[in-house]
Structure 1
Amino acid sequence: MTLPADDGAPLTAAQPPGIRQYQERSLFVLLLGIALSSPLVTGSVFAREGLTPLSLVAMALTAAVWLLLGLYHYGQRQRVANLLVYVLVLASGAAIAAQGSVRSSASLVMLAAVVGAGTFLPRRSMLLCAALAIALLGALNLMENRGLLPVTDMDTGWAVWVTQAAVLLSLLVAVSFGRRRMIHAFQAQNRALEEVIRTQDELKASQAHLQALFRNNPAACAVQVLASRTLVEANEAFIQMFGYPRSELLHQTPPTLWHHPPDRQAFRAALHASGRVRGMQAQGRRKDGTLFDAKVHAEVVRPGDEDLVMVMVIDVTAEVASRRELEQSRDRFSKAFNFSPLGMTITRLSDGQFVEVNPANERVLGWTQADFAGRNALEAGVWPSREDRDRYVAQLLHDGRLAGYETRMRTKAGEVVDVKVWAEKIELDGEPCILSFTLNVAEEKRREAILLNVAQGVSEEVGEAFFRSLVEHLARAIGADGVMVGEVGEHRRLRTLATIWQGQLLPPQEHPLHFTLCEQTLQQHRLLQHEIPEPGPMPLVAPFRHAPLRAFAGMPLRDDDGAPVGLLMAVWRDRPPRQHDLPSLLTIFGSRCTAELQRLRRDREIASLHGTLEQRVAERTAQLHYLNRELDAFAYTVSHDLKSPLRAIDGFMHLLQEQLDDRLQPDDRDLMQRVQDSVTRMGSLITDLLSLARVSQGQLQRMDTDLTDLAESVIRRERDRDPTREVRICIAPGLRANCDPRMAQIVLENLLGNAWKYSRQQPDAMIELGLLAATPDAVDTAVPQFYIRDNGAGFDMSRADRLFKPFTRLHSPQEFEGTGIGLATVRRIIERHGGEIQAQGAVGAGATFRFSFGRPGIDG
């Protein structure tokens, strides 16, 4: 408690409680004394003088004092003190005036008033009271000297007033100084007492805090005598940690709590040497014999005559186990990282600096671990340009991770190849890094290119144009220097239908087959391959006979009876590329060549029988049936030679995954999933390829067809496959056309399916099917013109010439799935009907397809 510097108002709460109570009691005693004595004085004055001014003053003073006593009783004590002092001063002045002399005994009352002011009033009121008393005495003295007071027999002068004033001031100073000294002494004593009390309270609180901290500390704590090892105190955590009851531990030598005696000896030695132990690793032993890993802290203290040891034991069993598990996890990660068949790297996000590189990178791109040491990706030359890496990093930061990100990287040999990257953002020692898996997909791209070449080779061309197109595409697909397709004639002679050698198409020729590899090929029922160690001549037909060759592959072309009708062969001057799918590709080409060769032969037969119309019709019908059978044979060949291996791959992958399920790592599962995705994609390509081939065959069954009903059934299937989408569909009622309903169904499935697919990124998707109004410049107003419009992704009109080509897509597979055959199939159907189809669109503004099915009676 801090006291004010000024002594202030003595009877207020700002004063120390002891002084305030003392002054209040003094004031009460003074009031009571005056209240009891004033009636006596009043009575004696009245008895002596009767009812005079002096007796009236005495009566008024008595009444005032009793009134102040009542105010004191109701708690108005500070006000009572002020009023009492001023009442006494005024009553003294009135009594002096009534007696007629300042030398009367009434002046003593004023003296008592001044003493009371010095005792009970604050400094300002005390000085005001003294000034009032002195002024009043001066005025009375002046009035007495001039004879203004009643005449008495006492003579006065200014000396009396000066004497009285001096006495009053001296008393005032003495009383005020004494009171001030008393207050200051009391305040000092009170502060000392409060400081002692506060110190004792703090000491008690500190002791209670320390005791609570010791007892409630979650770490095991104990106090032990250093010399005798006797436990003085132990908290509950210590008791629970070691499992001993408190009676077996306290105030006696504890049982052995250390598992390894050398640890205990090292602990004691450290205490004697430095007086403290910090984080000593040890193993503790509980009462039941179980062990736990611990970290021990201790310090020697001397609170009295003997040394004590403050011991803290922390159970770190979980921490040690976690650290071991972390080390094992790091070891597993290291093994998975270093033995992964995928190229794996860890690079700093900021500058691409290589942190870790696994050995598989050498198999993927040719770079070794030494090539990346202390370098970043740009310095090593992995990225073709800084822009490629910036796009890769920006995509990673935007998506948080990358899965199958397609880009291009440079091999150590300097070749820029297509790769797929799986990447994740991680942190190593607080540094943002990128963990990436790289897969070289150049071979996969090459195979896709081969499939495209297959599709282009099996094109809509017929006759000699077909064979020329076939040898060109086949040579590019398999990297051959020469490809030949020939027809076997009489006397085992081969008449070439198309030949390409070193990039040049050669004119048809006729060659004997005796004693050549071509003759051996015709004797086989499957692909014949022949390869020699060094380039040299092989027994072949011209122009391959005298050329230095390394490899030969021949496929016999046989009719339905198994008789050889032709030959497909390819040659290489150097070692041919290792292609596991070469037999399948040659089988596909061979099947298509066989079908076309059979068609040519049937055309010749029809030309030779041109004389009879009925015979021509019959032969044509037979030829169509035969072509249908050939188409079925072609479809069977594709399904057998491509789909059967794919189904085997898919089945074996499922079987392998089931057998190794509990041993597969996440990376192994990811690889298997990519293989299965590739199988599914190749299966889709083959299925679409067959669909494209089949729409060109068969007789059109034209009839009046309800396109509105067909379109609504297509939309219902799309909604069933994607029920969560909200798409506005507008199909005009009563749309009818003369067409093959089955073919029209395929057209609508592809066009409406594309509209549904390419509008899925629009929040308010719209698809519309309707009938175009006839225009004055229309060529044939009798043929209805239909349109299908959407507000989806659209396309660039500068690339519209590629829209209806097989296996050509204007959007990346990452944006929209598909094989690129749907629109080619639509165009083939429309053209067979004698109709036409056009497309118009803009990027981001949707697309519109206008089409018609031609005039009735046309069958293409």
Structure 2
Amino acid sequence: MNAPAPLPAAEATGQPPSLQRYQERSLLALLLCIGIAGPLVAFGVHLRDGLVALTWVALAFSLTDYLLLVLYATRLRPLVAPLLVYTLIFTSGAAIVAHGTVRSMAALVMIAAVVAAGVFLSRRNMLVSGVLGITILGVLNIAENLQLMQTPETRTGWTVWIVQTTILISLMITVNLGRRRMLDAYRSQNLALEHSREVERLLRQSQDRFQALFRSTPAACLVQSLDTLDVLDANQAFQSLFGYTNEELVGHPPPRVWASDEEQTEFRRLIDTQGRVGGLRGLAQRKDGCAFPAMVHAEVTQSATERLLIAVVFDLSADVASRRELEISRERFSKAFNFSPLGMTITRLSDGRFVEVNPANERVLGWTQSEFEGKTSMEVGVWVSETDRNHYVATLRRDGRLQGYETRMRTKAGAIVPVRVWAEIIEIDNEPCALSFTMNVDEEKRHEAMLLNVAEGVSGDTGEAFFRSLVEHLADAIGADGVVVGEVDPLKQMNTLALVWDGRLLPNSTHSLHRTLCEQALLQPALLRFESPRPAHLNLVPPFSEAPLQSVLGLPLRDGDGSVVGLLIAVWRQRPPPNAQLDALLTIFASRCNAELQRLRRDREIHKLHDTLEHRVAARTAQLQYLNRELDSFAYSVSHDLKSPLRSIDGFSHLLREQMAGRMTAEDIDLFERIEASVHRMNSLITDLLALARVSQGTLQRMNTNLSELAHDVIRQERHRDPTREVEVAIEEGLYADCDPRMAQIVLENLLGNAWKYTRQTTNARISFTRAEQTAPGAPVFCIRDNGAGFDMARAERLFKAFNRLHTASEFEGSGIGLATVRRILERHGGHIRGEGAVGQGARFEFCFGSEATS
């Protein structure tokens, strides 16, 4: 079924579709209401009055309503509303006539019809229906007043209620539709108002954005009214660019922008003819008259009230300067490219086609610029093979640049030469290209090969083999017919060390250098060069003096003190071609030869000294041992012989003291005590001297000795001699050393005895004997530490010397022999001792017995 057509009223008023649908539903409700009420009214009138005229009016009205319902479902729906209104009007008039009075309830139907016309019909139809109703009611009033109508029926019943109810329902439907139309109209107006406000807000935002863009854009902008020819606005960029203030611009004619009249005229012509200017370039003029390159865009626009000219000015000073710099850079590159001594090319990486080639390539590879033009490197034949070029391109693409890349290339003559290439990837017209610098290193490689040849000949040999290898390789490298190296003695006799002639090594021999070119070479500070215009017999040593020669080079070889010790000579039958490296090569290898000759002479001296050294060392050692034995024997004898007179003095002193008992004064007693003390000190000194002498005599009996037990014995002896002292002693267990137990006992007695003695005046005295930490493998090192009097490290060099004491006798007794004895014992074992301390903070001694005994 096709969709129903809209109502004429809706079309005429341009109502929205939702209101049209609501109006159609209201019309349908009204038809249904009338369709129900009409038959009921006819039935009620029939029951009350029988089949009278009013009954037929009600039935006819009901039938008409049903027909309108049928039309509602068809395309004729737009006709339903006007037909219903006019049917109501005429039915109301007929019912009034049938009832007999205008006071009939049917008059209300007339009112309902006019209301429905106002809702469902257009204004014109509403007026027509209203006039029609008024006319009918007027005619009926006249007829009733003239008593032309029948006597009305005044009885009421439920029929009247049905009519009243129907009229009220119809009015409610109609009023509700009118209310809905009013609400829709309000909403429509409200939406239109909101839309207007949104448009205004967006317009304001657009204006704000334009203002912000206008103010903040770096381009100089100016707005001019074409009606008043005054400036309306100019942004800060325009003011800064041209040097004007805002007050000088706004409200005044625009300043002169163009520096020349021609550009000003062209600008006006474009504005007048085209209404816009697109990128006009020229010189603009600032307020101070200074001109600068600029580009101007302008366009004429129409605002709501006037015509506007919007102009945008771009300062091209930086662009022009950069273009100038680019031109200068291009000129520099062109000059550097074309005048470079290196072969420079620009080639496409894709196929190797030459884009640009400088003239130096002709010197590097032999090809001219025209021979490269428009061709690829493979077409020219520069590369030896496609593989070489592919490797070059792959390496360049991978690394982005090449530094000293070595490869091979072919010259125009067809020779394959080594080259060194520096290259970098650049882009030309979005095409990756290689900017390369090529250097022909053929001569450099030949020199390197020559140096390697000579170096290989002399690097592995020494002595006489070195000189033989040197002359052979040097003659081959410099193309000499003969090379000789000789040692020169003070009598100017040269003993040849190696001589090559015509490619053969000749036996060594001795020759006098008097009145020869070789003698002249000895007198030169550096290189001697002699050249003859033609081959001649020169005064040289054999076999050179027997052949016609044209060129001779000689270099003296000197010792560290500057004296001549040798000579290097090279000879040619034909003058050698010019070679800048020849002199340098001879100088370098003469220096190497000089060093080897000096080493050879030193070896001779060393061998000579070595032959006599062992005998001299043995003799000196035997003499030293004899002197040591004599010294020890003398010390022992003297010490032993001193014991007898000392005992006599001690005995006579005691005898004299007994005889004078009871008669001695206090002074006599003091003298005897001083004699006894001196005898005691002398006896201790002699005992120490005997001990010092004994340690150097006899044979060491080395064995694995438990030093911890020996240390405990020494401490027990000290505690027994001085039982009143409280000393904290810590001895590490399991300390062993490979030494003579008797000598080890003496070492510990002296070191631990000193620690016991020098802690006498210390509160909470502590002594320790431990193994010291070692950073290197070897014999164990031991440590004895105390917290006693200590000593000044500034006097430590006297610590282990005999009869040298670091404390006075009034502070601590002693002879100054003990530590000297300890050092001699340890040195006999191949060990050592060292001490460190601080005054008042104790001392620390580290010692080692070593692993091998010394004499």
TM bracket (short chain): 0.3 to 0.5
Q: TM-score, normalised by structure 1?
A: 0.46
- Structure with larger Rg: 2
User: So what's the TM-score if we normalise by structure 2?
Assistant: 0.46
